[in-house]
Amino acid sequence: MNVETAPALSDPDLAASDLDDLGLGREDYRTLYHTMRLQREFEERIYRLFRQGRLVGAAYAGAGHEAIAAGSAYALGDADILVPMHRVIGAHFLRGHTARDMMCQYLGRANGPTAGKDGNMHCGNWDHHIVGMISHLGANIPVAAGVALASKVRGDGAVSLTYIGEGGSSIGDFHEGLNFAAVHRLPMVLIVENNKFAYSTPTRYEYACENIVDRARGYGVGGALVDGTDVRAVYKATRDAVDLAREGGGPTLIEARCTRLLGHAQHDDAFYVPKDIMEDGWNNDPVTKAESLLLERKYFNREEIDGIQEEVKGIVDDAVDYAEQSPLPEPEEALQGVYAD
């Protein structure tokens, strides 16, 4: 594949019929909706715990990003590697981190993924093929490229998936990581979660091209522009990109458009977001959109949807109880597992 033939795998104007024939059945749709609803419920609880003083440190939420998290991670195979970011906790859930695991992580408990040594989304688990995220988010891209390079050398067929915000696409790590992956035709998928604001900076001050995915052709890689509020569109674009990478076609750059429905973090009330943008965002809430789809297509009835919501609430209630009853780390263990022996 060369620069002239780098394909656009999908676009935000796909007809509904193009997304119906994805090979997804009732249980697939249940898993996707359950994951999105669990992310929303979990993060709402995290914010509540923060305000109550029961959670120490920063609290981030991916409200508006749930379809990106669920749709992308669901497209991965068991051996593929996730290099997540802070708004895709649903991807953690799909790859094997439980709500209990992540609540213990947020509450700094000894039985959390980092044993209380790091906070919020800064965790991974190689048994689940999850590489812990780096706070300087662009640095995740070279890591994902390195993981993909290792996979190519081993010939194990694994694909790495990572994310960046549209703001983070302006830093050097984005170029260096994606360019390296492109040159070496590495099995990597990079999703730009374009939520219209890099913290408080609107996109018109972030980049001059019409779409970030326009850069894909310059790198000689495949590109896809998708509606990041439609879990089916995200799933299709990611699945196509993963298949292409696994077949030796190299990396794909996916731009998933959405609206961040809350501020950058718990401390930020998003006062800088124009009212019409926020209203449009809530009118296109990906969780509500997925729910409406399931009802309209008669995949589930209202009683079944309500049952999923109650199930998710119970999972989060259990996770909070479990985490608050779990032990805090012992002070003498503070440096264990932090530095190499």
Domain ranges of the chain: 58-97+120-298
How high is the pLDDT of residue 337? 82
Please enumerate in sequence order all residues whose Cβ is within 8 A of that of 285, keeping only pairs 6 or more positions apart, or say none.
64, 229, 261
Q: Which residues pair with 161 in a beta bridge?
A: 82, 189
How high is the pLDDT of residue 5? 37
Which of 265, 236, 215 shows the shortest CA–CA distance to 87? 265
Give 262-275 pLDDT, tens digit per residue.
Answer: 999 988 999 999 99
Give 283-297 pLDDT, tens digit per residue.
Answer: 999 999 999 999 999
Which of 94, 171, 180, 201 shows the shortest CA–CA distance to 192? 171
Which of 197, 132, 206, 145 shows the shortest CA–CA distance to 174? 145
User: For residues 266 and 263, what is the distance between their CA atoms, to the nearest angstrom?
Assistant: 7
The greatest distance separating any two alpha carbons of the chain, rounded to the nearest whole angstrom, comes to 59
Q: Which residues pair with 227 in a beta bridge?
A: 257
Q: 58-97+120-298 — its CATH code? A: 3.40.50.970
User: Would you say the pTM of this structure is higher than 0.85?
Assistant: yes
How high is the pLDDT of residue 4? 36
User: For residues 221 and 253, what is the distance between their CA atoms, to the nearest angstrom?
Assistant: 7
How high is the pLDDT of residue 58? 86
Eight-state DSSP code of residue 272: T
Give φ, ψ of 14 to 5 degrees: -55, 135
Please enumerate in sequence order all residues whose Cβ is within 8 A of that of 195, keeping only pairs 6 or more positions apart, or say none.
64, 65, 165, 166, 228, 258, 259, 260
> Which parts of the chain have pLDDT scores under 50?
1-12, 14-15
Please enumerate in sequence order all residues whose Cβ is within 8 A of that of 297, keeping only pairs 6 or more positions apart, or say none.
none
What are the tokens at 84? 């997540």
What are the tokens at 92? 């953690």
How high is the pLDDT of residue 76? 98
Count of residues making up the chain: 341
Spell out the alpha helix ranges (H) of the chain.
16-20, 26-51, 66-74, 89-95, 99-106, 140-154, 172-183, 215-219, 231-246, 275-283, 286-296, 302-325
